[in-house]
């Protein structure tokens, strides 16, 4: 399988060339508009599901032909309930007594976004280097295992302990990235298959570790590790009443670091060249095999940090479900963010918000969190196929627009 | 069967590839379609074959207008085509390839492989092809694959056979065999359309010649026309073979290759005890039919292919066993034979392509930190100096024409102090203007005292540029001769004859 | 230039690296054989024995339980492993391709050694051989369907990562339709529709809009998980009558999709119950594998599909509609995976639950690769993985010192070895994941 080479590749650099006529063109062609419309379309699909599942709509639809307005208003009610709940669960709580209560949902969203940003950044680096890394899930798990182990098994002073736990997360993730990178470089094994398989190997490894008595909380038989020491936790960012912790800031710093790496460093230049045309990169004296290994290690490092953030900042103990679906969500984050750091931060916050709204959705609108998966995947599908979005919204084809203005 | 094209027009965006082209192929004749690379020959044939939809014009078979929605229609009408890049499924056998698309079924509704085998054998025997129907195509030589393509077309009872640049990959000997086949086909009543830019072949076999240039028919000619007349029609002006250059002033030996051998991944020998030297201030051109080890030779020199034996030194420093990067840093400039796959990153900007192998150079980065401004100003200079036609240095390299892409590659490779410039097929697929520009730049580099190694399968180019010519055949250097050696001798050497026998 | 990328594998014929890459398959086999020899062969106490039971209660023909001396068996199996590695050497020296049977036989022998070693010296425990094989075949069912789906899609040049979603969709629709119609067979018949829908989406994005096929596949899996989980938590939990376990389908207390023993054949010891005392879905699986094995390699349709997957331009120039072929195959493949999804619900007698396919779609993908993109190979590889799964369960029953998590990793590790070329060469269709643009 030749993975990312055939991806709809955005031009490496694009700019607005100052011609006023091309302003319209760039708006119509812009990723921004497509992204906005894709989100809109996904919300519509979500609304359809909400209406379908809503009992009052089902009740009203039984007499649809006698009083159709009942069905429609019930449907409208269900949809607004759902999206109001989503808004309240992820951005601003209208019913809270205090300011801090009102913005708590937003801080929750940011907390959820931190691991998504980390792992999304890792995947983005891989995509741009032409590597289709489906293995973030396994890398997250390994990062979480190592960070968690350092967190609960060692007892060190604050600062040193956290630093060591973070290094553990990095090493765990890097190892799980190194394996497929090395196999690709030496044997040509395709990274898609190897990383998928390593996800499961990582999952069973975690399950086995948590079945060991030494990894379980004392006096408990559950597959859950002892709580990590406070010295290994990411300190909270806004005080103890909020879940938001410094891991989020670390994710933003990582985004800046990845931007520098990809856009301003010779390494990143090499990564991009290898991703876009490995053959030309070889002839230009770049070592493609070493690049593959390096990129996978960096991708694994970032995904490992995502796992570390989960353990050290959010969950504070290792469980079999520690990675949730972060690794897979991160794929959608990286795709939505077009593998660019700023885009990934924005997409990570968006999807973090969707995730954060889960409990509110359940309580206020009686909807399961799974609707978020639907919205998420529909957004990414539409974004991957701009012509489909243009077709759905009857936008002009940019190629035609070009001919007219040319 | 008579085939006629009237007013065929095909556009790609704003680019008119075919502009109201008329062409008439009489039954039982060989009709040559002569034109430069990029003149629109292949586009025209793809329109005829139903692979492209024409924007205007019509196709007539036996004076009746036909419309081909796809290649299937064209084949049913009795038109067969042998594409420049063979359309063969490699893991299939010859018989499977021949039957594909018009399979005969046996009584059990499954494929009748026996029928296909005997069909292959029958055609193969009729023309003396000697093709095994059960051989896997991937195991066949290029010449044999071409014969499979011809069998494929004939097995569909093609009355008109289109051959698109059929000799590009053949040895002179195989070329002669092919031309014999063409004559045989014509005598058996099949019309042949021969698409080529090679004058010798046209004169050897064509009954009628249509010349096209820049998408338009510029005229027809008789095969009795002289080569220079044909060349003038094809190019649009008088063509002077010779590049304007002073005699070389060779200096010290810069590149020394001794006893170089290499094998490919299948274990076949690609380089067999090759020795040559290139001096400062001279151009050594390696001539030969494509696939005789030239590609492997330059790749072994720069370190892209590992040699099994021998040595390569640059100014006395051993190169073999080093990485490509070390070879480039040692002072080699390299223009690869396929610019789109090896020379450029199409999605990168022109700016970035101009520093593709220079990103670690202190001019463009310090301690891993890229200097964006330096890259931009470098691009401005290079674009001006090499007259790269583009709207912006931030346009993608893929948006450039072939000639401008090649200028970018050459501009980049000449951006550092070179001891040796290696250029593989430096002008393949370029128009005449770009070819002249490239040749001037290469000669100018020689005059600066750089050693230059050119690999070209175009004899014209070799003769025009070379101070000395090395001829390769089957991985060996057959001989090194002066540039005024007559072409017949060169041709025989390219077929493996040693200089003494050839002369 | 192709020569450069090809030359990556080329080195001086004498260098260590090229020796390694040339002989890595042999090295892989030899290492595993050595592990078996040391751990299971020499690691088994001499003089102890392993007991196996063959007959199940109620079998007409009762075969008594038997014991074998453990160490001779594990040693013999280890020697067989070495012999298979030796065969690989022999074939490689003669430059002959090695069939799929070799890695499969290798895997079976390895598992046999593991099983004998695990059961060694356990006086009161019998290894239920037949039961294990029966459940192995049954557990292989979704893998076979999934691998068949992958083979059909990839042979035409479309990578189908969405097998997981197709299985899940099939499982969901099967149980809903079965519950509503009160007939498990109608549910099974409906399952392909869900898979075909997912396949159609894959085709739409991959073939029509040229979106990277791996991206679409991964995202479609998320989408199907989202939709089925959402509907499970809302509609199905509000209306449990739409999601009945097999026991309730078909009224009058009959368990859905019962075993249908084939007369005579099912009486054969071991083989009978393993292959011929299964339910309709399993028999359907045999038919599908045989039909597509013949169709893919002997029919006009198959020749054209393979041409499209190898060299679409060549297929186009002889008048084959490339994208139409791809769309049809992708939908057909989706339908077959959807049918396999019926395994999880109506064929197993279970109601639907969230993400109940739990990664089987990815193991199916692995079976397709190990089976080298042909139906017969996919069947064998899927059976191997099915047996590995039932071995894991069996070892859990008799108690083993190897944690079950490690046994659960085996299929995934085997796949990594396979794609790394450690179990022989495999070549995917050349045009896979490359959209065809004129």
Instruction: Report the candidate in B338, B265, B336, B328 with the shortest Cα–Cα distance to residue B298.
Output: B336
Say whether B369 and A267 touch across the interface (CB within 8 A): no
CB contacts of A277 in chain B (<8 Å) are: 341, 344-347
pLDDT of residue C423: 59
Least confident stretch, A380-394, B16-30, B235-249, B325-339: B235-249
CA distance C419 to C106: 16
Please give the residue of chain B at the shortest CA–CA distance from C295: B110
Say whether A197 and C412 touch across the interface (CB within 8 A): yes
pLDDT of residue A34: 83
Q: What is the DSSP letter of B481?
A: E
Tally of domains in chain B: 2
Residue C203 has pLDDT above 90, yes or no: yes
Q: Edge-to-edge strands of the sheet including B64-66?
A: B15-25, B3-12, B56-61, B64-66
User: Predicted confidence band at A30 (pLDDT cuts at 50, 70, 90)?
Assistant: low
* CA distance to partner chain A, nearest, from residue C359 (Å): 8
Using a CB–CB cutoff of 8 Å, tell me whether C262 touches chain A.
no
pLDDT of residue C61: 64
Please give the residue of chain B at the shortest CA–CA distance from A272: B348
* CA distance to partner chain C, nearest, from residue A358 (Å): 12
Q: Is residue B331 within 8 Å of residue B419, measured between CB atoms?
A: yes
Q: In chain A, pLDDT over 70 holds for what percent of residues? A: 90
User: Predicted confidence band at B266 (pLDDT cuts at 50, 70, 90)?
Assistant: low
- The 3-state secondary structure of C130-155 reads HHHHHHHHHHHHHHHHHHHHHHHHHH
Tokens describing residue A263: 């856009």
Beta strands B283-287 and B451-456 are: parallel
* CA distance to partner chain B, nearest, from residue C429 (Å): 10
Looking at residues B155-168, what average pLDDT do you find?
89
Question: What is the phi/psi pair of residue C319, to 5°?
Answer: 90, 15
Residue pLDDT, tens place only, C65-80: 788 888 888 899 999 9
Residue pLDDT, tens place only, C295-326: 999 999 999 999 999 999 999 999 899 999 99
Least confident stretch, A22-36, B57-71, B182-196: A22-36
Using a CB–CB cutoff of 8 Å, tell me whether C412 touches chain A.
yes
Looking at residues B421-434, what average pLDDT do you find?
86
Residue A83 has pLDDT above 80, yes or no: yes
* CA distance to partner chain C, nearest, from residue B264 (Å): 6
Q: Is residue B473 within 8 Å of residue B494, measured between CB atoms?
A: yes
Say whether C214 and A3 touch across the interface (CB within 8 A): yes
Instruction: Report the candidate in C167, C138, C146 with the shortest Cα–Cα distance to residue C364.
Output: C146
ipTM: 0.87
> In sequence order, which ranges of C94-183 are alpha helices (DSSP H)?
101-119, 129-155, 163-181
Task: Look at residue B376 and tell me if it is in a domain.
Answer: no
Residue A11 has pLDDT above 80, yes or no: no
Looking at residues C196-211, what average pLDDT do you find?
95
Residue A243 has pLDDT above 50, yes or no: yes
pLDDT of residue A9: 36
Which CATH number is correct for C133-379, 3.40.50, 1.10.3120, 1.10.357, 1.10.3470?
1.10.3470
Least confident stretch, A116-125, C122-131, C188-197: C122-131
User: Predicted confidence band at C52 (pLDDT cuts at 50, 70, 90)?
Assistant: confident
CA distance C315 to C326: 12
Task: Look at residue B260 and tell me if it is in a domain.
Answer: yes
* CA distance to partner chain B, nearest, from residue A404 (Å): 11
User: Predicted confidence band at A179 (pLDDT cuts at 50, 70, 90)?
Assistant: very high
CA distance B41 to B18: 8
Q: Is residue C421 within 8 Å of residue A187, measured between CB atoms?
A: yes
Please give the residue of chain B at the shortest CA–CA distance from C9: B265
Task: Write down which chains contact chain C via at least 3 CB pairs under 8 A.
Answer: A, B
pLDDT of residue B403: 85
pLDDT of residue C175: 93
CB contacts of A270 in chain B (<8 Å) are: 359
Q: In chain B, pLDDT over 70 holds for what percent of residues? A: 97
Query: Are B231 and B266 members of one domain?
Result: no
Question: What is the phi/psi pair of residue B476, to 5°?
Answer: -115, 155
Nearest residue, CB atoms, C419 vs list A190, A283, A375: A190
Looking at residues B271-285, what average pLDDT do you find?
94
Nearest residue, CB atoms, C211 vs list A200, A283, A384: A384
> In sequence order, which ranges of B101-191 are alpha helices (DSSP H)?
113-126, 142-155, 172-187
Beta strands B476-481 and B468-473 are: antiparallel
Residue B302 has pLDDT above 90, yes or no: yes
User: Predicted confidence band at B306 (pLDDT cuts at 50, 70, 90)?
Assistant: confident
Residue pLDDT, tens place only, B119-160: 999 999 988 888 999 999 988 887 889 999 999 999 998 999
Residue pLDDT, tens place only, B233-260: 887 766 555 567 888 889 999 999 999 9
Q: Is residue B123 within 8 Å of residue B155, measured between CB atoms?
A: yes
CA distance C247 to C241: 13
Residue pLDDT, tens place only, B71-96: 888 988 999 999 888 999 999 999 99
Give the number of other Cβ atoms within 10 Å of residue C213's Cβ. Answer: 29
Mapping DSSP to helix (H, G, I), strand (E, B) and coil, where does residue B487 land?
Answer: helix
User: Predicted confidence band at B286 (pLDDT cuts at 50, 70, 90)?
Assistant: very high
pLDDT of residue B346: 92
Nearest residue, CB atoms, A371 vs list C161, C230, C432: C230
CA angle B118, B122, B127 (to 5 degrees): 150
pLDDT of residue C19: 66
Please give the residue of chain A at the shortest CA–CA distance from C359: A200
Rg (chain A; Cα; Å): 23
CA distance B187 to B190: 7
Nearest residue, CB atoms, A279 vs list B341, B348, B392: B341
Please give the residue of chain C at the shortest CA–CA distance from B341: C1
Say whether B100 and C9 touch across the interface (CB within 8 A): no
Using a CB–CB cutoff of 8 Å, tell me whether C254 touches chain A.
no
Using a CB–CB cutoff of 8 Å, tell me whether C420 touches chain A.
yes
Please give the residue of chain A at the shortest CA–CA distance from C412: A197
User: Predicted confidence band at C6 (pLDDT cuts at 50, 70, 90)?
Assistant: very low
Residue pLDDT, tens place only, C88-117: 888 888 877 778 888 888 988 998 888 888
pLDDT of residue A63: 85
Handedness of CA B146, B149, B154, B159 (dihedral sign): negative
Say whether C416 and A183 touch across the interface (CB within 8 A): yes
pLDDT of residue C128: 83
CB contacts of B304 in chain A (<8 Å) are: 282-283
User: DSSP string spanning C347-394?
Assistant: TTT----TTTTTTHHHHHHHHHHHTTTSHHHHHHHHHHHHHHHHHHHH
Nearest residue, CB atoms, A4 vs list C161, C212, C222: C212
Say whether C319 and B75 touch across the interface (CB within 8 A): yes
Least confident stretch, B50-64, C55-69, C216-230: C55-69
Residue with structure tokens 């083989």?
Answer: C271
Q: In chain A, pLDDT over 90 holds for what percent of residues? A: 62
pLDDT of residue B254: 95
Tokens describing residue A306: 């995502």
Residue C16 has pLDDT above 70, yes or no: no
CA distance B303 to B388: 30
Tokens describing residue C415: 């796949």
CA distance B125 to C410: 55
CA distance A351 to A325: 12
* Final residue before a domain boundary, out of B207, B235, B263: B235
Q: Is residue B388 within 8 Å of residue B299, measured between CB atoms?
A: no
CA distance A172 to A180: 14
pLDDT of residue A119: 97
Please give the residue of chain A at the shortest CA–CA distance from C435: A6
Using a CB–CB cutoff of 8 Å, tell me whether C366 touches chain A.
yes
Residue with structure tokens 């073999």?
Answer: B320
User: Predicted confidence band at B465 (pLDDT cuts at 50, 70, 90)?
Assistant: very high
| Angle between helical axes of A31-53 and A21-29 (0-180°, round to 10) | 40
pLDDT of residue A398: 59
CA distance C214 to C206: 9
- B interface test, pick of C2, C7, C291 with most B CB neighbours within 10 Å: C7
Structural domain range at position B260: 253-331+417-502
By CB atoms closer than 10 A (0-12, 13-18, 19+), residue B176 is middle
CA distance A332 to A372: 12
pLDDT of residue C154: 96
* CA distance to partner chain B, nearest, from residue A400 (Å): 10
Nearest residue, CB atoms, A283 vs list B329, B336, B346: B336
Residue A153 has pLDDT above 90, yes or no: yes
Say whether B357 and A284 touch across the interface (CB within 8 A): yes
Say whether A371 and C226 touch across the interface (CB within 8 A): yes
Query: Are B132 and B222 members of one domain?
Result: yes
Q: Is residue A191 within 8 Å of residue A132, measured between CB atoms?
A: yes
Residue A378 has pLDDT above 70, yes or no: yes
Question: What is the phi/psi pair of residue B390, to 5°?
Answer: -155, 160
pLDDT of residue B503: 62
Mapping DSSP to helix (H, G, I), strand (E, B) and coil, where does residue C436 land?
Answer: coil
Q: Is residue C359 within 8 Å of residue C164, measured between CB atoms?
A: yes
Say whether B341 and A280 touch across the interface (CB within 8 A): yes
Residue A21 has pLDDT above 80, yes or no: no
Please give the residue of chain C at the shortest CA–CA distance from B85: C314
CATH number where B23 lies: 3.40.50.300
User: Predicted confidence band at C437 (pLDDT cuts at 50, 70, 90)?
Assistant: confident
pLDDT of residue B231: 80
Say whether C215 and A384 touch across the interface (CB within 8 A): yes
Looking at residues C240-249, what average pLDDT do you find?
75
Least confident stretch, B331-340, C3-12, C350-359: C3-12
* Segment of A185-199, B282-296, B322-336 carrying the highest mean pLDDT: B322-336
Mean pLDDT of chain B: 89
* CA distance to partner chain A, nearest, from residue C385 (Å): 14
Residue B381 has pLDDT above 80, yes or no: yes
Number of continuous H segments (helices) and E segments (strands) in chain C = 18, 3
Q: What is the dihedral of CA C275, C281, C283, C285, to 10 degrees?
A: -100
Q: Is residue C431 within 8 Å of residue A6, measured between CB atoms?
A: no
Residue pLDDT, tens place only, C421-435: 765 556 788 998 888
* Segment of B236-245, B268-277, C95-104, C246-255 carrying the highest mean pLDDT: B268-277
Mean pLDDT of chain A: 87
Query: Are B216 and B260 members of one domain?
Result: no
C207: alpha, beta or left, given left = phi > 0 and alpha = psi -120 to 50?
alpha
Query: Are B182 and B314 members of one domain?
Result: no
Residues 257-296 of A with CB under 8 A from B: 263-267, 269-270, 272-273, 276-277, 279-287
CB-defined contacts B:C, below 8 A: 111
CA distance A369 to B245: 76
CB contacts of A273 in chain B (<8 Å) are: 345, 348, 352, 356
CA angle C89, C78, A189 (to 5 degrees): 50
CB contacts of A378 in chain C (<8 Å) are: 223
Looking at residues C226-255, what average pLDDT do you find?
78
Say whether C405 and A6 touch across the interface (CB within 8 A): no
* CA distance to partner chain B, nearest, from residue A80 (Å): 44
Residue B207 has pLDDT above 90, yes or no: yes
CB contacts of A15 in chain B (<8 Å) are: 394
CB contacts of C314 in chain B (<8 Å) are: 86-89, 97, 100
Using a CB–CB cutoff of 8 Å, tell me whether C19 touches chain A.
no
Instruction: Report the candidate in B138, B139, B142, B137 with the shortest Cα–Cα distance to residue B120.
Output: B137
Say whether B71 and C314 touch across the interface (CB within 8 A): no
Higher pLDDT, C28 or A27: C28
Query: Are B320 and B461 members of one domain?
Result: yes
Query: Which run of H or of E encompasses B292?
Result: none
Spatial neighbors of A243 by CB under 8 A, at least 6 apart, are A107, A108, A111, A236, A314
């Amino acid at each position: 399988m030749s993975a990312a080479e055939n991806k709809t590749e955005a031009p490496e650099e694009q700019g607005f060339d100052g011609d006023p006529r091309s302003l319209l063109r760039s708006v119509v062609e812009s990723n921004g508009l497509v992204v906005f419309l894709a989100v809109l379309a996904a919300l519509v699909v979500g609304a359809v599901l909400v209406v379908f599942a809503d009992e009052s709509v089902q009740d009203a639809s039984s007499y649809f032909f006698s009083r159709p307005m009942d069905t429609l208003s019930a449907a409208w009610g269900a949809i607004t309930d759902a999206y109001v709940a989503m808004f309240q669960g992820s951005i601003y709580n209208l019913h809270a007594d205090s300011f801090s209560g009102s913005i708590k949902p937003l801080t929750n969203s940011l907390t959820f976004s931190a691991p998504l940003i980390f792992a999304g950044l890792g995947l983005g680096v891989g995509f741009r280097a032409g590597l289709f890394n489906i293995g973030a899930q396994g890398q997250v798990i390994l990062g979480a295992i190592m960070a968690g182990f350092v967190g609960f098994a060692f007892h060190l002073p604050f600062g040193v302990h956290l630093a060591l736990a973070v290094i553990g997360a990095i090493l765990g993730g890097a190892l799980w990235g190194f394996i497929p990178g090395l196999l690709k470089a030496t044997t040509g094994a395709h990274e898609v298959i190897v990383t998928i398989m390593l996800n499961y190997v990582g999952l069973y490894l975690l399950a086995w570790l948590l079945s060991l008595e030494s990894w379980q909380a004392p006096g408990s038989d559950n597959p859950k590790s002892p709580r990590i020491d406070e010295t290994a936790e990411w300190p909270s960012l806004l005080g103890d009443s909020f879940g938001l912790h410094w891991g989020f800031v670390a994710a933003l710093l990582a985004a800046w670091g990845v931007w520098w790496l990809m856009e301003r460093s010779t390494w990143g230049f090499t990564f991009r060249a290898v991703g876009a045309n490995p053959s030309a990169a070889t002839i230009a004296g770049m070592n493609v095999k070493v690049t593959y290994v390096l990129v996978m290690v960096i991708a694994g490092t970032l995904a490992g940090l995502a796992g570390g953030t989960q353990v050290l900042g959010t969950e504070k103990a290792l469980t079999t479900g520690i990675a949730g679906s972060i690794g897979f969500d991160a794929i959608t984050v990286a795709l939505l963010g077009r593998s660019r750091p700023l885009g990934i931060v924005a997409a990570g916050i968006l999807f973090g918000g969707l995730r954060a709204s889960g409990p509110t959705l359940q309580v206020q609108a009686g909807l399961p969190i799974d609707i978020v998966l639907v919205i998420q995947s529909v957004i990414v599908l539409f974004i991957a196929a701009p012509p489909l979005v243009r077709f759905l919204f009857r936008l002009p084809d940019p190629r035609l627009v070009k001919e007219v203005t040319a | 069967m008579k085939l006629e094209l009237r007013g065929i027009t095909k556009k790609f965006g704003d680019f008119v590839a075919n502009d109201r082209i008329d062409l008439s192929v009489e039954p039982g004749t060989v009709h040559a379609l002569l034109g430069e690379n990029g003149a629109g020959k292949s586009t025209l044939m793809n329109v005829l074959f139903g692979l492209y939809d024409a924007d205007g014009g019509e196709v007539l078979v036996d004076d009746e207008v036909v419309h081909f929605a796809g290649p299937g229609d064209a084949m049913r009408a009795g038109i067969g085509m042998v594409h420049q890049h063979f359309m063969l499924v490699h893991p299939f056998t010859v018989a499977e390839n021949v039957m594909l698309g018009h399979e005969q079924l046996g009584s059990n509704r499954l494929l009748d492989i026996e029928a296909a085998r005997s069909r292959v054998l029958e055609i193969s025997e009729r023309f003396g092809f000697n093709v095994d129907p059960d051989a896997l195509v991937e195991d066949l030589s290029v010449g044999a694959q071409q014969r499979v393509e011809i069998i494929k077309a004939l097995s569909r009872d093609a009355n008109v056979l289109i051959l698109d640049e059929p000799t590009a990959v053949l040895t002179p000997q195989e070329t002669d065999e092919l031309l014999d086949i063409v004559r045989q086909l014509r005598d058996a009543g099949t019309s042949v359309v021969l698409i080529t830019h090679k004058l010798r072949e046209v004169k050897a076999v064509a009954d009628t010649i249509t010349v096209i240039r820049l998408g338009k028919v510029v005229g027809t000619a008789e095969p009795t026309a002289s080569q220079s007349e044909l060349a003038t029609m094809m190019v649009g002006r008088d063509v002077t073979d010779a590049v304007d250059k002073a005699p070389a002033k060779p200096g010290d030996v810069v590149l020394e290759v001794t006893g170089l051998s290499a094998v490919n991944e299948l274990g076949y020998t690609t380089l067999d005890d090759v020795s040559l030297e290139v001096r400062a201030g001279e151009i050594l051109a390696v001539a030969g039919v494509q696939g005789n080890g030239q590609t492997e030779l330059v790749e072994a020199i720069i370190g892209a292919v590992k040699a099994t034996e021998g040595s390569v030194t640059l100014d006395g420093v051993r190169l073999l066993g080093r990485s490509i990067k070390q070879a480039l840093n040692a002072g080699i400039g390299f223009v690869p034979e396929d610019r789109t796959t090896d020379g450029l990153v199409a999605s990168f900007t022109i700016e970035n392509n101009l520093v593709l192998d220079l990103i670690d150079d202190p001019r463009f980065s310090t301690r891993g930190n890229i200097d964006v401004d330096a890259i931009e100003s470098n691009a401005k200079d290079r674009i001006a100096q090499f007259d790269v036609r583009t709207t912006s240095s931030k346009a993608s390299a893929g948006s450039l024409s072939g000639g401008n892409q090649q200028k970018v590659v050459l501009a980049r490779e000449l951006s550092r102090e070179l001891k040796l410039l290696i250029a593989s097929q430096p002008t393949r697929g370029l128009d005449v203007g770009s070819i002249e520009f490239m040749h001037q730049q290469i000669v100018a580099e020689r005059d600066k005292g750089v050693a230059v190694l050119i690999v070209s399968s175009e004899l014209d180019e070799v003769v025009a540029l070379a101070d000395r010519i090395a001829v390769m055949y089957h991985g060996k250097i057959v001989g090194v001769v002066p540039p005024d050696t007559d072409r017949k001798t060169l041709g025989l050497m390219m077929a493996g004859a040693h200089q003494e026998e050839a002369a | 230039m192709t020569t450069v990328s090809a030359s990556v594998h080329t080195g001086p014929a004498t260098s260590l690296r090229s020796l390694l890459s040339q002989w890595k398959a042999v090295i892989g086999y030899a290492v595993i054989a050595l592990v078996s020899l040391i751990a299971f062969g020499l690691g088994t106490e001499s003089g102890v024995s392993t007991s196996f039971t063959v007959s199940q209660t109620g079998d007409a023909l009762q075969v008594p339980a038997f014991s074998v001396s453990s160490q001779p068996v594990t040693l013999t199996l280890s020697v067989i492993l070495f012999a298979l590695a030796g065969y690989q050497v022999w074939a490689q020296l003669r430059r002959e391709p090695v069939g799929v049977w070799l890695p499969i036989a290798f895997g079976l022998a390895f598992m046999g050694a593991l099983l004998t070693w695990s059961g060694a010296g356990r006086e009161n425990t019998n290894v239920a051989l037949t039961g294990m094989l029966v459940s192995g075949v049954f557990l292989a069912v979704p893998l076979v369907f999934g691998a068949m789906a992958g083979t059909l899609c990839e042979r035409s040049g479309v990578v189908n990562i969405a097998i997981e979603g197709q299985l899940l969709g099939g499982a969901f629709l099967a149980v809903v339709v079965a519950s509503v119609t009160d007939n498990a067979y109608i549910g099974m018949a409906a399952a392909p529709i869900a898979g075909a829908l997912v396949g159609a989406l894959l085709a739409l994005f991959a073939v029509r809009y040229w979106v990277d096929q791996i991206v679409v596949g991964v995202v479609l899996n998320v989408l199907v998980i989202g939709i089925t989980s959402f509907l499970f938590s809302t509609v199905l939990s509000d209306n449990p009558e739409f999601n009945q376990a097999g026991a309730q389908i078909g009224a009058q207390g009959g368990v859905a999709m019962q075993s249908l023993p084939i007369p005579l054949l099912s009486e054969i010891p071991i083989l009978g119950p393993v292959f011929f005392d299964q339910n309709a879905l399993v028999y359907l699986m045999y038919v599908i594998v045989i039909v597509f094995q013949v169709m893919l390699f002997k029919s006009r349709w198959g020749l054209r599909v393979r041409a499209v997957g190898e060299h679409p331009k060549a297929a186009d120039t002889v008048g084959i509609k490339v994208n139409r072929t791809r769309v049809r195959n992708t939908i057909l493949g989706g339908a077959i995976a959807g049918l396999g999804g019926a395994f999880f619900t109506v064929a197993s007698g279970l109601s639907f639950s969230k993400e109940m396919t739990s990664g089987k779609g990815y193991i199916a993908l692995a079976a397709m690769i190990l089976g080298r993109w042909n139906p017969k190979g996919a069947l064998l590889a899927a059976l191997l993985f099915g047996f590995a799964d039932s071995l894991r369960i069996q070892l859990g029953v008799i108690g083993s010192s190897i944690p079950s998590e490690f046994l659960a990793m085996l299929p995934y590790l085997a796949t990594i070895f396979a794609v790394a070329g450690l179990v022989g060469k495999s070549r995917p269709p050349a045009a896979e994941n490359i959209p065809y643009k004129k």
